Chain A
Amino acid sequence: MNLNSNPALVRFVRNVLIIILVAKALSLVMLWYFQYEGVHYHANSSKVPEYKRYNAKNLIKSASEPDAQSAIAEPTSEEAKELAAYGPNISNMTLKGLFRDKQTGFIIIALKAKPKDSEVIGINESFKGYTLTRILQNGAVFDKNGAPYTLYFSKKNKDVSYVKRGKSKLKQDDGGIKQVQKSDIVRYAKNVKQIWKDIGIVEVKKKKKTVGFKVTRIKANTPFAQLGLRKGDIIIKANNKPMKSYKDAIAIYKNIDKLEALELIVLRNNQETEISYEIN
């Protein structure tokens, strides 16, 4: 076909080509304007150390109220001589405090000769060549060269140095730490609707950023009512992690049945208040 003989067709083809060219040019402008890469989700790793509760009460009590065994402000010359002559052995050590749980725990131990130089050691860790193998309710079992050694509290210390396990649903021990039953936690974790029946929580924002979660309502005679939370409290931290988003709250909720301890920092009457729980 001779194109010159059909100028209308030539015009049409030319116009179509121009249209395609303009469309392509516009698309190139769009390509220049729009993003080359999509939005990716990056889970921010928190630099805030995970919360771990140590029973500091033992340290403080031991320091302020030393028991008969460790109430030696200055080491006796006999103990100092024994230490110098034979090195440390179990008989010249003193147990100053312990924390034990089902699987974990630690003890606070020192030499009688140096009661102020206490060390915190966990299971399978060693102190002066003695490896801690078990933590008892009122003492600790060590191992050295395959032989077991047991170190007990003195009578006075025995009463105060370990966390008592209450049978009641919620108990408060001497250090202001509330005991929470794991069964309650698991029940709430499985039945979220019950949480919203028993407690009301709303997000609190400042300058469009979440700063915490406010307790708007607590039903009486529920585990929440006994938790020490009050209407109007703003939970700003849980286990040392700031509650800056629903993600933070969900993260706590998702792992609640794995927690052994929970520490809440709440803003009450514009003052930060710490509420600690031990889950057992």
Chain B
Amino acid sequence: MKKIALFFLYVILFFAALLFFTPKENLYYFGEEQLKPLGVVIADEEVIDHGFSLSLKGATIYFKKIRSADIESINAKIFALYNNLRVENIVLDPAVEQFFPPEITYVNITHSIFSPLQVHADAEGDFGSATAQVNLADRNGTLIVVPSKMMTSRFRNTLRQLKKSKGGDYYYEFKF
């Protein structure tokens, strides 16, 4: 029993040490490089390695070379068993805000060992609130949006891209 406990202790220590020593800044740059073919570029950001987590401050997002949003902070916690990415205070570029409310308070993306084939996301902002479930095995997902008054009154065209459920919410199903 003691040996088993010791083994788990060593495993935890190994992952903790690995997490601490992992060059998170470089890992982030690697991730950035993977986003590039999709047309997403994160620029002007300050990358800070906190030892067990990584944060970005003051990022500007370009999508297909169009300046799309400014982000105050992004915090990434990658613990293998529990991974979380929290993006806070997103302000969309005026060119994009014609189609979508300009401010998003946060976007929270979580992956946990308890449901290893699912990625969960939730967000809140001027648009209302949204939750998303992504199934990694089936490569599909569902986005459910509960629109705010502003969204339903001023951005009806954008909402029309989603399907309306019987409960009054809007949803969008996608595959990747």
- Give A contacts to B, CB under 8 Å: 12, 15-16, 19-20, 22-24, 26-27, 30-31, 33-41, 43-44, 192-193, 196, 245-247, 250, 253-254
Asked if residues B66 and A36 are in contact (CB atoms below 8 Å), the reply is no
Report if B106 contacts A (CB, 8 A).
Answer: no
Say which residue of A23, A43, A250, A254 sits within 8 Å of B17 (CB atoms).
Answer: A23
Judge whether B32 is part of the interface by a CB distance below 8 angstroms.
yes
| B51 at the binding interface (Cβ < 8 Å) | no
Task: Check B14 for interface membership: any CB of A closer than 8 A.
Answer: yes
Cα–Cα distance between A15 and B13 once the two chains are bound (Å): 10
CA distance A250 to B43 in the complex (A): 19
> CA of A247 to CA of B44 in the docked complex: distance in angstroms?
19
Min Cβ gap B27→A in Å is: 6
- Interface centre among B21, B32, B64, by most chain A C-beta atoms within 10 angstroms, is B21
Q: A19-B14, A22-B14, A196-B157 are in contact. Are A41 and B27 (CB under 8 A)?
A: no
Residue contact A192 to B66, C-beta cutoff 8 Å:
no
Query: 3 nearest interchain CB pairs?
Result: A23-B17, A27-B21, A34-B26
**Which residue of B is nearest A197, CB measured?**
B157
Across-interface contacts of A38 in B (CB, < 8 A): 28-29, 32, 42, 45, 47
What residues of chain A lie closer than 8 Å to B43, measured between beta carbons?
Answer: 39-41
* Those of B12-38 within 8 Å (CB) of chain A: 13-14, 17-18, 20-23, 26-30, 32-33, 35-36
Nearest Cβ distance between residue B3 and chain A, in whole angstroms? 12
CB closest residue in chain A, given B62: A41
- Which of A23, A43, A193, A254 makes the CB contact (< 8 A) with B14? A23
> Contacts A41-B62, A193-B157: A23 and B29 contacting too (C-beta < 8 A)?
no
Residues of B within 8 A of A246 (CB): 64-66
Asked if A39 and B36 make an inter-chain contact with CB atoms under 8 angstroms apart, the answer reads: yes
**How far is it, in angstroms, between the C-alpha of A34 and the C-alpha of B32 when the chains are bound?**
11
Q: Roughly how many angstroms separate A23 CA and B35 CA in the complex, as a whole number?
A: 27
How long is the Cα–Cα vector from A24 to B62 in the complex, in angstroms? Answer: 35
The CA of A26 and the CA of B42, in the complex, are separated in Å by 27
- The CA-CA distance from A192 to B157 in the complex, in Å, is 11
User: A40 — which chain B residues lie within 8 A by C-beta?
Assistant: 41, 43
Shortest beta-carbon distance, B75 to chain A, in Å? 17
Q: Which residues of A contact B45 (CB under 8 A)?
A: 38
A8 shortest CB reach to chain B, Å? 10
22 residue pairs of the A-B complex, CB under 8 angstroms, read: A12-B6, A15-B10, A16-B13, A19-B13, A22-B14, A23-B17, A23-B20, A23-B21, A26-B18, A27-B21, A34-B30, A35-B33, A36-B26, A36-B29, A38-B28, A38-B42, A39-B33, A39-B35, A39-B41, A40-B41, A247-B66, A253-B95
Q: B30 → chain A, closest Cβ, in Å? A: 4
Contacts of B79 in A (CB 8 A): none
Q: Which chain B residue has the least Cβ–Cβ distance from A25?
A: B21
Give B60's nearest chain A residue, CB to CB.
Answer: A41
**Bound CA span A193–B62, Å:** 23
Closest beta carbon of chain A to B39's beta carbon, Å: 9
Question: Bound state CA distance, A193 and B166, in angstroms?
Answer: 27
Pair A37/B14 contact, Cβ less than 8 Å: no
Q: With a CB–CB cut-off of 8 A, which chain A residues contact B21? A: 23-24, 26-27
Residue of A nearest to B156 (CB): A193
Please, which residues of chain A bring their CB within 8 A of the CB of B20? 23
A35 & B30 in contact (Cβ 8 Å cutoff): yes
Question: Could you tell me the distance in whole angstroms from the C-beta of B47 to the nearest C-beta in chain A?
Answer: 7
| Complex Cα spacing A230 to B42, Å | 38
Do B95 and A30 touch across chains, with their CB atoms under 8 A apart?
no
Would you call B10 and A19 a contact (CB within 8 A)?
yes
Query: Of residues A20, A27, A192, A196, which shows the largest number of chain B Cβ atoms within 10 Å of its Cβ?
Result: A27
Q: What's the least CB distance linking B172 to chain A, in Å?
A: 19
**B99 interfacial contact with A, CB 8 Å:** yes
Cβ-neighbour of A250 out of B6, B66, B157 (below 8 A): B66
